[in-house]
Structure 1
Amino acid sequence: MNGENRKAYWALLAICIIWGTTFLAARIGVKGFPALLFMGCRHLIAGLLLGSFCLIRKSKMPNLRAFKAQLLPGLFMVTLGNGIVGWAVKYIPSGLAALICAMMPVYVVVINLITGKSERMNYKIAFGLLLGLSGLLLIFKDNLAYLGSTQYLGGIIICLLSCLFWALGSLYSKQKQSEYNDVYMNVAMQLFSGGAVLILASYVIEDWGAIHGVPLASAGAISYLILFGSITAFVCFHYALSRLPVGVVTLYAYINPLVAIILGFVILKEAITVYTLLAFVLTLAGVFLVNAGYRKQSKPLSNASAIRIKQPSYE
């Protein structure tokens, strides 16, 4: 293994750990602080910092047309995809949220199968969908005692919807390629626009009058999420992607939920049951089979699509 490949594997390891910690950090951050405002500030500031970094590195300043092209992906992936998960983890365990969001690739593939003309169902996809659905049913079974709570049930539903919106935004971004060919600046514009919408939504929905300073835990969590969850991990992802096969890089998606579940158990004392572990195995086995089956199609999964599948949340 040469030096560049070794660095790429270290970058991949960083992604596996960092993106696995972001659900926990979000859950800590939204305690005692408006969830949408927290997530909005996180993404808006990350977008500003990443955009500033791009300009310092002599990237071309995007025009208004380029910014408008990133508004819809920003709304779908950042606001409705990642941002609303911040509200969900206020009421459900971070490990549970991570496990539900791990089904993201299934959404992408199913939408492709429904809307695509060349893709067809095969036994791997069918069996994978069955396993993923079984894992989802186990998640609900494991949480039957809590489903009487509207907020708890709402948190689960929000996570499921966030996957759908992220998948739709991902596929839209793939099909509507921006004329501004700078992936980092495009992501910065998505983060900024999505974060701005979250702050606006927070102003309308949440009670800012109840804010009397930022709790230390929330300040630490948002700093971590901006610097590591959004910027460092994203740079590591693209570094790894540029030097390793896509199939190897996307293995991070199978590790993130395990990291989130373990950290939730160790730090926040979130319960881990036999059903949780079984749901984890079934869900990720289903995701693996669906992806494997889709890659067998006559029109293989492209790199662009794989890039989008990887992120449950620009985490």
Structure 2
Amino acid sequence: MYSRNLLSSPIAVAGAFLLLATLWGTSFVAIEAGLAYFPPLLFAGVRYAIAGAIVLAYATVVSDRWLPRDRHEWLGIVVAGTFVIAAYHGLLYVGELYVPGAVAAVVVSLAPVLTAAFAAVLLPNERLGPFEIAGFALGLVGVVVIADPTGAGVAADGDGLLSPELIGVGLTFLSAVAFSIGAVLLRPLRTDLPIAALQGWAMLLGAGLLFVGAGVFGESPGAIVWNATSIVSLAYLTVLSGVVAFLIYFALLDAVGPTQLHLVGYVEPMVAAIGSWVLLGHLIEGEAIVGFVAILAGFAALERREIAAYVTTRYGFGS
């Protein structure tokens, strides 16, 4: 369905990779801008209700089937909808009430590191050796540096209350945890259900759960402020960083595989930092940069074999 012919040259792959990183990196900025006008869970719910309907409609046109056949496939949709869509985005959107989108993007870049760690715990054929444990530890150190719990993360009056920055980093970290758990739980549940259909159903289910959460926490549609900024933010997140980005993701996944595609998560924070500065006037602080470097080093330690094999195969090094 997503043929390698769509991305048959290195230039096409690189262009698609950079476009995906741009769309997903700027989505953190669009979320930050839109949160001034939307309650967070309703914001995420509306985005994925629309995007899910579009992606599922697309699946009905291009896929050989779009309806799940059995409970196993429905379970995969439940896992993806609950963890990857609802929990991840719900926590991320609430977290961005407290920290800039660029900082959230850096924390979320920990997700591949967490995925490898959870896979070692939850899947029988996965394990963590010394390098993997070191990589995981480096990633956690990066998040701690960003959160700065001994500095900005403690209230200035010394009463021990958590600062908004620490709350935001904590919620964003939990969003990465939710995404990673969902990604690991999905591995044994994958079937021949086309991924576009899986994503479409998961988006719709996740949107429903987000709407339930919005009701539980008292979010009201009446609190939404409709203006040019809120409409552009929602449209961008739904159509470009939602539907278009996922279609690019599907094509890249087929062309280069999951390990190389994880690298897009390490370009996103750079895009988010530039976008946050250009559009919102926010500059990323030094702690976030140091934390990002630590997280990137952790990913390199965890995926060192896959990266080395890819470089050797692709460029002939070491042959």
TM range (shorter): 0.7 to 0.9
1:206 is aligned, of 210, 218, 229, to 218
Opposite residue 283 of structure 1, the aligned amino acid is I
Q: CA deviation at 1:215?
A: 3.1
Counterpart residue type for residue 189 of structure 2: K
Distance change (3 Å), C-alpha of 1:30 and 1:123: same
Residue 173 of structure 1 corresponds to 186
Match of 2:316 in 1: none
Aligned residue for 1:312?
A: none
CA RMSD, 1 decimal: 2.6
- Aligned equivalents of 1:185, 1:214: Cα separation in 2: 31
Shift of residue 220, structure 1, vs aligned partner: 0.8
User: Could you tell me how far 1:244 is from its partner in structure 2?
Assistant: 3.0
- Tell me what 1:84 maps to: 91
2:17 is the counterpart of 1:4 = no
The CA deviation at 1:227 is 0.9
User: 1:37 corresponds to which residue?
Assistant: 42
Q: After superposing the two structures, state which structure 1 stretch, 68-77 or 167-176, moved more.
A: 68-77
TM norm structure 2: 0.83
Q: 1:138 Cα shift?
A: 1.3
Counterpart of 1:256, as a letter, is: E
Q: Say which of 6, 11, 19 aligns to 1:14.
A: 19
Instruction: State the percentage of identical aligned residues.
Output: 22
CA distance in 2, matches of 1:26, 1:108: 24
Which ranges in structure 2 are unaligned for 5 or more consecutive residues?
A: 156-161, 310-319
Residue matched to 1:73: 80
Q: Equivalent residue for 2:128?
A: 121
Q: Does 1:219 align with 2:231?
A: yes
Partner of 1:109: 116
Match of 1:46 among 35, 46, 51: 51
Query: Partner of 1:240 in structure 2?
Result: 252
User: 1:234-272: CA deviations, max 9, x gaps?
Assistant: 111221232235443332121111111222233222233
1:250 is the counterpart of 2:262:
yes
Cα distance in 1 for residues equivalent to 2:174 and 2:244: 27
* SS at structure 2 position matched to 1:100: helix
Shift of 1:124: 2.2
Is 2:303 aligned against 1:291? yes
Task: Give the unaligned 5+ runs of structure 1.
Answer: 301-315
Alignment TM-score, normalising by the size of structure 1: 0.84
Letter in structure 2 aligned against 1:27: E
- Report how far residue 92 of structure 1 moved: 0.9
Residues 52-63 of structure 1 aligned to structure 2 (within 5 Å): 52-57=57-62, 59-63=64-68
Distance 2:170 2:276 in 1: 20
- For 1:156 and 1:202, the matched residues in 2 are separated by 21
- Counterpart of 2:148 in structure 1 is 141
Task: Look up the match of 1:272.
Answer: 284
**Which residue among 106, 114, 135 is the counterpart of 1:99?**
106
Cα separation, partners in 2 of 1:247 and 1:210, compared to 1, 3 Å: closer
* Equivalent position amino acid for 1:145 in 2: A
Kept in 2: contact 1:113–1:121 (CA 8 A): yes
Given the superposition, is the C-alpha separation of residues 245 and 197 from structure 1 closer, same or farther in structure 2, using an over 3 Å criterion? closer
Give the structure 2 partner of residue 25 of structure 1: 30
Structure 2 Cα separation of the partners of residues 236 and 229 of structure 1: 10
Q: Kindly indicate whether residue 196 of structure 2 is the aligned counterpart of residue 162 of structure 1.
A: no
In the superposition, relative to structure 1, how do residues 57 and 114 fare at CA in structure 2: closer, same or farther (>3 Å)?
A: closer
Runs of 4+ that moved beyond 6 A: none
Task: Tell me how far apart the structure 1 counterparts of residues 145 and 138 of structure 2 sit (CA, whole Å).
Answer: 11
Deviation for aligned residue 1:142? 8.1
Structure 2: which amino acid aligns with 1:173? L
